[in-house]
């Protein structure tokens, strides 16, 4: 691929030292700044690998259609990748996701199908609907229809074994003690855990889970159950995906939206970095892990996407008030 292709700009993101989190723990806590990707999120990596794999396996070619169920970020990554490979894109998205993500998807030329947010067990769940839509489309489409299936397509995990994990290892010069992040599909946590433990099996891996997700109890008590809820988007789940199955997890932490948002707002003040809610969950997990492991450790987490993507929510006083969440003093 030519060097000036937008696709060559996916990955190789900076690793940023998080001052406040490091000071609180006596550790060196770093965030992988995934908002530097062209689609401004961690999900560009999975989108690129999944589409490239489908093209290599001749499941789709120029003029064909990619279909996917997504909370938005994978869709935005796919929109960029599909444009580059001259593929059409059909996205099924829960109505509850931020208007900013939906507008970006439309601006990038994706066709959007907005559906009610219902659990995975419901046949009308957005992921299941995306599979059904792709199967129906296949009957009439000659140039190929491909369901990306980010939750259970293991190429997602592979993207993070081959890129994110290698970059973290190189950027810390192999002096990393632990890694933590939250889970949507599980691709990031699985891929980074496998990639890092291949380098050094003693690197500790922790899940950072929001409220309302069942994965924390799955790791702690081996049962899927959840309490509370979260306004964070793209993370937390009630089922074990094929990607999550591959994750090598030693520890788990659960974090409330209040804790996460306070960290997001603090980072704006201290380091002028504007992040979405899932990054707050991740940084909270890294702090909890740092406190548990003790001072002097090097811990890495993921800064998943840009806070502007949720301006109508986490930078909207009325929204925050209605959810009883902290309001940054400058709003």
Determine the interface stretch with ligand PMP among 111-119, 230-238, 260-268, 317-325 (rule: CB under 6 A).
230-238
Q: What angle do CA 208, 287, 319 make, to 5 degrees?
A: 65
Among positions 10, 183, 283, 287, the unique one binding ligand PMP when judged by CB under 6 A:
183
Q: How far is CA 14 from CA 30, 34, 159, 179, in A?
A: 10, 8, 17, 16
Cβ proximity of 299 and 179 under 8 Å: yes
Q: What x-and-dash track marks residues 6-35 binding ligand PMP by CB under 6 A?
A: ------------------------------
278 is catalytic: yes
Q: Is residue 104 a contact residue for ligand PMP (CB under 6 A)?
A: no
> Given candidates 73, 134, 213, 226, which one binds ligand PMP under the rule CB under 6 A?
73
Give yes or no for residue 235 binding ligand PMP (CB under 6 A): yes
Task: Answer whether 82's CB lies under 8 Å from 89's CB.
Answer: yes
- Minimum CB–partner distance for residue 151 and ligand PMP (Å): 8
Please count the residues of the chain: 331
Q: Select the residue interacting with ligand PMP from 144, 186, 212, 280 (CB under 6 A).
A: 186
- Which residues ranging from 269 to 308 are in contact with ligand PMP (CB under 6 A)? 276, 278, 304-305
Nearer to ligand PMP, 64 or 279 (CB): 279
Residue 43 bears catalytic tag: yes
By beta-carbon proximity to ligand PMP, the closer residue of 141 and 250 is 250
User: Contact between 194 and ligand PMP (CB under 6 A)?
Assistant: no
> How many other CB atoms sit within 10 Å of the CB of residue 106?
12
Residue 285 CB, nearest approach to ligand PMP (Å): 12
Q: Are 148 and 113 in contact (CB under 8 A)?
A: no
Contact in structure between 256 and 228 (CB atoms under 8 Å): yes
Q: Helices 73-84 and 99-107, interaxial angle, to 10°?
A: 10
Residue 163 binding ligand PMP, by CB under 6 A? no
Residue 182 is a binding residue for ligand PMP (CB under 6 A): yes
Grouping H, G, I as helix, E, B as strand and the rest as coil, residue 53 is helix
In the chain, alpha helices (H) = 19-25, 43-56, 73-84, 99-107, 126-138, 155-159, 165-171, 187-199, 215-221, 242-245, 257-271, 277-293, 311-314, 317-322
Q: Which of 43, 101, 102, 246 is catalytic?
A: 43
Residues binding ligand PMP: number (CB under 6 A): 19
- The packing angle between helices 257-271 and 277-293, to 10°, is 90
Residue 26's CB is within 10 A of a number of other CB atoms, namely 12
Least distance to ligand PMP from the beta carbon of 62, Å? Answer: 27
**Nearest distance in Å: CB 282, ligand PMP:** 8
* Residue whose entry in the numeric block shows the structure tokens 């099996």: 201
The piece of 40-48, 87-95, 130-138, 289-297 that touches ligand PMP (CB under 6 A) is 40-48
Whole-number minimum distance, CB 182 to ligand PMP, in Å? 6
Q: Please give the positions annotated as active site.
A: 43, 278
Residues that bind ligand PMP in the complex, under the rule CB under 6 A: 41-43, 71, 73, 182-188, 233-235, 276, 278, 304-305
């Amino acid at each position: 691929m030519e060097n000036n292709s937008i696709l060559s700009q996916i990955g190789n993101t900076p690793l940023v030292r998080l001052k406040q989190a490091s000071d609180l723990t006596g550790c060196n806590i770093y965030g992988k700044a995934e908002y530097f990707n062209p689609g401004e999120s961690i999900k560009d990596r999975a989108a690129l690998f999944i589409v490239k794999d489908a093209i290599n396996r001749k499941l789709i070619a120029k003029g064909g259609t990619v279909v996917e169920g997504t909370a938005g970020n994978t869709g935005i990554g796919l929109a960029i990748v599909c444009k580059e490979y001259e593929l059409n894109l059909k996205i099924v998205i829960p109505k509850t996701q931020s208007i900013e993500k939906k507008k970006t998807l439309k601006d990038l030329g994706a066709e959007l199908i907005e559906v009610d947010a219902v659990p995975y067990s419901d046949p009308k769940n957005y992921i299941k609907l995306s599979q059904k839509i792709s199967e129906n489309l296949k009957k009439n489409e000659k140039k190929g229809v491909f369901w990306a299936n980010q939750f259970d397509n293991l190429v997602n995990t592979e993207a993070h074994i081959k890129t994110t994990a290698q970059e973290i290892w190189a950027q810390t010069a192999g002096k990393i003690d632990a890694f933590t992040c939250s889970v949507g599909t599980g691709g990031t946590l699985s891929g980074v855990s496998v990639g890092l433990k291949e380098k050094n099996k003693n690197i500790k891996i922790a899940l950072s889970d929001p409220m309302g997700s069942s994965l924390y109890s799955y790791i702690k008590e081996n049962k899927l159950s959840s309490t509370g809820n979260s306004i964070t988007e793209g993370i937390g789940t009630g089922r074990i995906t094929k990607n999550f199955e591959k994750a090598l997890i030693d520890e788990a932490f659960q974090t409330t939206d209040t804790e996460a948002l306070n960290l997001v707002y603090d980072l704006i003040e201290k380091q002028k970095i504007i992040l979405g809610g899932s990054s707050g969950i991740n940084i909270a997990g890294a702090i909890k892990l740092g406190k548990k492991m003790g001072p002097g450790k090097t811990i890495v987490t993921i800064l998943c996407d840009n806070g502007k993507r949720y301006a109508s929510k986490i930078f909207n006083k009325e929204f925050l008030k209605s959810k009883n969440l902290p309001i940054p003093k400058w709003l």
